[in-house]
Structure 1
Amino acid sequence: MAYKSVFDFSVVKSEFENAGIKPHFIPLIWKHVLQNPNCQWDEIPSLPSAAYPLLNSKFISCTSTLHSIINSNDTVTTKLLVKLQNGEFVEAVIMRYDTRLGKYDGKPRPGGPRSTLCISSQVGCKMGCKFCATGSMGFKNNLSSGEIVEQLVHASRISAIRNVVFMGMGEPLNNYASVVEAIRVMTASPFQLSPKKITVSTVGIIHAINKLQTDIPNLNLAVSLHAPVQDIRCQIMPAARAFPLERLMNTLRDYQNNSHQKIFIEYIMLDGVNDEEQHAHQLGKLLETLQVVINLIPFNPIGTLSHFSTSNDQKVTRFQKILRGTYNIRTTVRKQMGQDISGACGQLVVSLPDKSSTGSAGLLTDIEDLRI
């Protein structure tokens, strides 16, 4: 029999209620597991006597195992290869920041060291974005809410995680129920992450965006836009055919009117495809009525899987100046982390560790800073 993850909240809650055990004991179990990775259920104090045989017969503290930990030469990025109970693998990436090393508006930033975890929601992805390594895997399966949370559990034993971004493998809103339940666990005791520290990135699943703001208020929404017009978007993101740009923009306006929060726009820079001055003007006009932060993402080469090239620095800078200067839209450029371990944006595709990789890069702006 396959054991269930103790972090699959709805399953544990249902089993506890059927056994007459109050669900308020569940966070106590989670806290003990976090503090004692290899604990036995009988070692957890103060649970009702009926809880112990139930836990022993149906649940395990972690259904996944940490297969490998790969540190980047940049010294601030760590990729975790996590093996699931079904034998499949997913990847998560820890990115460390020290806000004291940078400035915002010419002033020193407050705070200090913090870590962001980039988390996966699926094995593979069915969206098929042509610039993304994960899309080349195809779709294999959704993760349960417990398997999603377990990535945070594994990462928390390596670094204190302050922010979580659903920007790893998979389209989070195609695994809606598990992602929402996982976020609710992450915002509860003992994790207690603020929804404002969690970001869900989507290619634009319209019906799910409408539901998300109601189900989890104050969550950050990031939209992988990547093109300012529908034709280009469909060329590089085949799934965009199901989510026309006009309808997506109307959905984002409604989302913003209800949430009163900025929306993050992710825009990958592909040489000669979407990085010309005309594209910058088209993007500015498309978004100028919304409160957004645009994050320009230099394309990460993925070997023979793509015919795309990275936009040069001059093009990226000119693109950014148009958005800032002409349309007054806050625009940042993502400085990549972990390219040498294939941990950068668009590079997450399961492979066994290759310690011969070289090279490094640094990311100066955390998703948390973009909220300012």
Structure 2
Amino acid sequence: MASSSSSPPARRSVFDAAYIRAEFDAAGISPTFIPTIWKYVLQNPRCSDLDGVPSLSAAAYALLRNKFRPTTSTLTAAAESKDRTTTKLLIRLQNGESVEAVIMRYDSRLGKYDGKTRPGGVRSTLCVSSQVGCKMGCRFCATGTMGFKSNLSSGEIVEQLVHATRYSQIRNIVFMGMGEPLNNYTALVEAIQVLTGFPFQISPKRVTVSTVGIIHSINKFNNDLPNINLAVSLHAPDQDIRCHIMPAARAFPLAKLMNALQSYQNASKQTIFIEYIMLDGVNDQEEHAHKLGKLLENFKAVVNLIPFNPIGSASTFKTSSDQSIKKFQKVLRGIYSIRTTVRQEMGQDIAGACGQLVVSLPDERSAGGATLLSDIEDLRI
């Protein structure tokens, strides 16, 4: 008789919240113990089993051994920028694919507020991925060249924070890594609910989700994720330019997108963050600034101008000049009274800046001064 070649089902991450709750419920185990398990893994990110979790029943330990792992992803490598403000993490998933997450450190004391030095010190933001690759195909984004491969589970999203805590205390989370977050909506909502609850306790006001404009998901965003910041990758003030640089925009007409954003803002009372990549001669002229100002004049919005980051020799785009960016900003601020910032680019030397994530780490000899950290055990918080 031939023996079965089927392998046992892969164990799931304890951070897959809906799954672990369902399994506990089916086994008659109180779900109130689940945050205790999460706290244990967060405090012991290198643990290989869950036997050390305190005060569980014998049935709970048995269930955890059979069906769960502390983390299903592995931190395989990291690169640190030469100015040590940015660390890019390469994380291998259970299915063999990899994603990147980026830690960005800001020293709040370097800025001024009301003429005075800001209080505090170094604050870290974690840029997380929600998918392997992306199906949006934005022409200025390296991730888009990968195509779409798979969605991350909610646990795999949360695990990026678990891995990052080995390097820095994370204060803010932005869903601006690989993938379109609203195309993985159920996992996104579940992950954020975990991240803003015990034991992570990230303030909802410090979580930002970026989208190219998935209208049907924007329509339910406020109900499912109240107080979470919404950032929209607009990148152009009219539909023709948007479709040219963002092919997926054809499915989300600009007029309908702006109507959805108006409804969202009316209900949520939240400021909307507009991301606008500056492409030389494409969308960075004064006429484009006026169009954008008129498009946003009835919104409470902050526009973040993003200097284009090179994504390889195949790209046909060039970065806007500093002069063009300043003129663009002056129009939005001076004529339309729209708060406008210019993004401080971090991690370019390790391809960890906006639009550069494509599952790679720079070679140590050609990383522009970056330090390649292939042995994760050499790093400490």
Query: What TM-score do you get using the length of structure 2 for normalisation?
Result: 0.93
CA separation in 1, counterparts of 2:362 and 2:95? Answer: 20
Residue equivalent to 2:128: 119
* CA deviation vs aligned residue, 1:282-303 (integer Å, no higher than 9, x gap): 0000001100000000000111
User: 1:227, 1:267 within 8 Å by CA — same for their partners in 2?
Assistant: yes
User: 1:68, 1:353 within 8 Å by CA — same for their partners in 2?
Assistant: no
Shift of 1:40: 2.7
The answer on 1:313 being equivalent to 2:330 is: no
SS at match of 1:32: helix
Identify which of 23, 26, 36 aligns with 1:18.
26
The answer on 1:355 being equivalent to 2:364 is: yes
Residue equivalent to 2:278: 269
CA separation in 1, counterparts of 2:357 and 2:149? Answer: 15
Amino acid at match of 1:289: N
User: 2:49, 2:69 within 8 Å by CA — same for their partners in 1?
Assistant: no
User: 1:133, 1:305 within 8 Å by CA — same for their partners in 2?
Assistant: no
Shift of 1:261: 1.2
SS at match of 2:155: helix
Amino acid at match of 1:221: L
Higher relative contact order (CA closer than 8 Å, sequence separation 6+): 2
More moved, 115-124 vs 40-49: 40-49
Identify which of 52, 55, 63 aligns with 1:46.
55
The answer on 1:32 being equivalent to 2:40 is: yes
The answer on 1:335 being equivalent to 2:335 is: no
CA separation in 2, counterparts of 1:276 and 1:212? Answer: 33
User: 1:266, 1:294 within 8 Å by CA — same for their partners in 2?
Assistant: yes
Amino acid at match of 1:7: F
* CA deviation vs aligned residue, 1:181-231 (integer Å, no higher than 9, x gap): 000000111001111110000000011011111001100000000000000
Residue equivalent to 1:8: 16
Residue equivalent to 1:65: 74
Shift of 1:172: 0.0
The answer on 1:169 being equivalent to 2:178 is: yes
More moved, 165-174 vs 210-219: 210-219
CA separation in 1, counterparts of 2:155 and 2:314? Answer: 32
* CA deviation vs aligned residue, 1:42-101 (integer Å, no higher than 9, x gap): 221201221011100010001000010110012110000000001100000000111111
The answer on 1:207 being equivalent to 2:220 is: no
* CA deviation vs aligned residue, 1:263-288 (integer Å, no higher than 9, x gap): 00000000000000100000000001
The answer on 1:197 being equivalent to 2:209 is: no
CA separation in 2, counterparts of 1:351 and 1:301? Answer: 15
CA separation in 2, counterparts of 1:250 and 1:181? Answer: 27
Structure 2's unaligned 5+ residue stretches are 1-8, 371-381
Shift of 1:105: 4.2
* CA deviation vs aligned residue, 1:294-328 (integer Å, no higher than 9, x gap): 00000001113310000010000000000000100
SS at match of 1:200: strand
SS at match of 2:232: strand
Residue equivalent to 1:344: 353
The answer on 1:130 being equivalent to 2:139 is: yes
User: 2:79, 2:361 within 8 Å by CA — same for their partners in 1?
Assistant: no
Amino acid at match of 1:100: R
Residue equivalent to 1:88: 97
Distance 1:134 1:317, change over 3 A: same
User: 1:339, 1:359 within 8 Å by CA — same for their partners in 2?
Assistant: no
SS at match of 1:204: coil
Identify which of 77, 83, 86 aligns with 1:77.
86
CA separation in 2, counterparts of 1:254 and 1:60? Answer: 41
CA separation in 1, counterparts of 2:283 and 2:270? Answer: 27
What is the number of equivalent residue pairs in this alignment?
361
Amino acid at match of 2:141: C
User: 2:211, 2:231 within 8 Å by CA — same for their partners in 1?
Assistant: yes
Residue equivalent to 1:367: none
User: 2:78, 2:361 within 8 Å by CA — same for their partners in 1?
Assistant: no
SS at match of 1:42: coil
* CA deviation vs aligned residue, 1:241-275 (integer Å, no higher than 9, x gap): 11111111111111111111110000000000000
CA separation in 1, counterparts of 2:94 and 2:367? Answer: 31
Identify which of 301, 325, 332 aligns with 1:292.
301
SS at match of 2:364: coil
